[in-house]
Amino acid sequence: MATPVKTSIVAALLGVMILSPDSVATESKTAQLTIKADQGKVVIDRNVYGHFAEHLGRCIYGGFWVGQDSDIPNTRGIRNDVVQALREIKIPVLRWPGGCFADEYHWKDGIGPRENRPTMVNTHWGGVTENNHFGTHEFLDLCEQLGCEPYISGNLGSGTIEEMADWVEYITFDGKSPMADLRRRNGREQPWKLKYFGVGNENWGCGGNMRAEYYADQYKRYQTYVKNFSGNRIFKIACGASDVNYNWTEVLMTQAGRHMDGLSLHYYTIPTGSWRDKGSATKFGEALWHATSRRALEIDTLITKHAALMDQHDPRRRIGLMVDEWGVWHNVEPGTNPGFLYQQNTLRDAMVAALSLNVFNHHAARVKMANLAQTINVLQAVILTEGAKMLLTPTYHVYYLYRVHHDATLLPTELTGPQYVFESHQIPALNVSASRDKAGKVHVSLVNTDPHRAIELHAQLQGMKAKRITGQVLTGAEMTAHNTFEKPTAVEPAPFGDAQVTEGGFRTTLPAKSVVVLAIEN
């Protein structure tokens, strides 16, 4: 902990006032924003708002899947409440079956009559027995119910090339073939469309502990047999780096770039910075509130550097950077299975979601997909379930507010504003991204990370005359505010009326610790 003397020296140097963590202040700072509403060339791919579901803890079993005989309302075994909630955030893409699980998953164990499916041990996640009741048909049915693209991760770590090739044939071939006939015998006449296919996961770690050079060779072999059948065109995604492993990106781009459509990147925000003790999801003070946003924002630097390497090999940006795992990783909730990664979700997690999604928007030219880990009951979940009960987390509500950015054109912005300083660290207090949708409406998503001070914002709209402005806000009384099964709506969006059209744009006051999304019409 910094002493008050040190803190005030930092404050004096930075020319800002620092409030004690306990203080409740209403003092606002001002910020200036310019939105170039008549510019913008790059479309924000809606898949940046994607999700990830692994056979891990209660994500699939109890989360998505309850089985046809369950008392919980379901359609062919898939929970109706969950499907409806995810449709409301317009979930664009869902990655499955892992994660680390993907490289020990043998898909043929998960087809055919459920009572005949063999079991396996889920060695990564709690050593529990996997009954394979949720397999290929169930996953693709889920995606159809959700109206989203499936993204399947194939097994390169412990599976064969033949097995991977068979899986794609089974799903997508419409003629007569051993795999297509097997699919028909299992009740599905028509092939599915499958666009996104990952060739392995974290093959530098749980997916086989490979060197980049070795994986690049393996990737080239395996992907050769991932075929385009019956008019289906597969977008092939190579396993990419985690965090600062720039060498992995460099080797993959050099040696295998021309064989891939996407290269992944994984980044988890660990509030304490230590994997041994990541901190509680709900019991934390301002130091960890600040550190969590600061560490989350590091993804901007990571993407910038990985993208710069990709630019050297792929200046036309044909290959997408797919951030197919990201989110906050806390300690598990006390008393729960450490292998199940079940954590609560507070306003702090919502901040991370909002900041990260703004970062992805800004990198729309290279980032073509991002998948929050993980959809239900695992890590930074958007949904938590307990038996028949379901709640939407603060992170869910960010996805609800930000759905306006799907497939919208990113607008250039210039922002100057105060810093949020805590002890010896500082981050910009305000974070923004803006887009124009197909109807010409401009949406601005603003995050005030400072838990004490509101920010007065004066915005100029270039090339657009605003007539009407509306908004929604997500905030809470405490930094630790969260939803429980007893109080499932403690944190949820509310209408935001504090934004007025001005001569050249608009002005607004953003409450402390809030996410505000504005809609501007001309």
- Least Cβ distance, residue 251 to ligand AHR (angstroms): 19
Identified catalytic residue from 54, 104, 149, 325: 325
Beta carbon nearer to ligand AHR, 342 or 422: 342
The footprint of ligand AHR on residues 301-340 (CB under 6 A) is: 325
**Cβ(416)–Cβ(31) below 8 Å:** yes
Classify residue 303 as exposed, middle or buried by CB count within 10 Å of its CB (0-12, 13-18, 19+): buried
The binder of ligand AHR chosen from 145, 201, 343, 377 (CB under 6 A): 201
* Residue 202 bears catalytic tag: yes
The binder of ligand AHR chosen from 138, 149, 202, 314 (CB under 6 A): 202
Residue positions counted in the chain: 522
Q: Reduced to 3 states, what is the DSSP secondary structure of residue 378?
A: coil
Within 8 A by CB and 6+ apart from 215, the residues are 200, 203, 204, 208, 239, 252
Q: Which residue has its beta carbon closest to ligand AHR? A: 99
The footprint of ligand AHR on residues 269-298 (CB under 6 A) is: none
Q: Note whether 200 binds ligand AHR by CB under 6 A.
A: no
β-strand partners of 495: 472
Tally Cβ neighbours within 10 Å of residue 398.
29
Identified catalytic residue from 202, 298, 503, 521: 202
Q: How far apart are the first and last CA of the chain?
A: 49
Count of residues near ligand AHR by CB under 6 A: 10
Q: Reduced to 3 states, what is the DSSP secondary structure of residue 112?
A: coil
Determine the Cα–Cα distance for residues 170 and 226; give it in Å rounded to an integer.
Answer: 12
Q: Note whether 99 binds ligand AHR by CB under 6 A.
A: yes
Beta carbon nearer to ligand AHR, 385 or 445: 385
Q: Note whether 54 binds ligand AHR by CB under 6 A.
A: yes
- Least Cβ distance, residue 54 to ligand AHR (angstroms): 5
Determine the Cα–Cα distance for residues 343 and 336; give it in Å rounded to an integer.
Answer: 9
Site string for ligand AHR, 337-376 (x = CB under 6 A): ------------------------------------xx--
Q: Note whether 450 binds ligand AHR by CB under 6 A.
A: no
Site string for ligand AHR, 79-98 (x = CB under 6 A): -------------------x
The number of angstroms, rounded, from the C-alpha of 271 to the middle of its chain's C-alpha atoms is 17
- Least Cβ distance, residue 269 to ligand AHR (angstroms): 13
Beta carbon nearer to ligand AHR, 54 or 138: 54
- Six-digit token string for 183: 């699919």
Beta carbon nearer to ligand AHR, 169 or 202: 202
Determine the Cα–Cα distance for residues 407 and 218; give it in Å rounded to an integer.
Answer: 34
Closest CA to 402 of 481, 471, 344, 338: 471
Q: Note whether 428 binds ligand AHR by CB under 6 A.
A: no
* Residue 104 bears catalytic tag: no
Determine the Cα–Cα distance for residues 519 and 162; give it in Å rounded to an integer.
Answer: 51
Ramachandran category for residue 163: left, alpha or beta (phi over 0 → left; psi -120 to 50 → alpha): alpha
- Catalytically active residues are 202, 325
Which residues of this protein are in contact with ligand AHR, per CB under 6 A?
54, 98-100, 201-202, 325, 373-374, 379
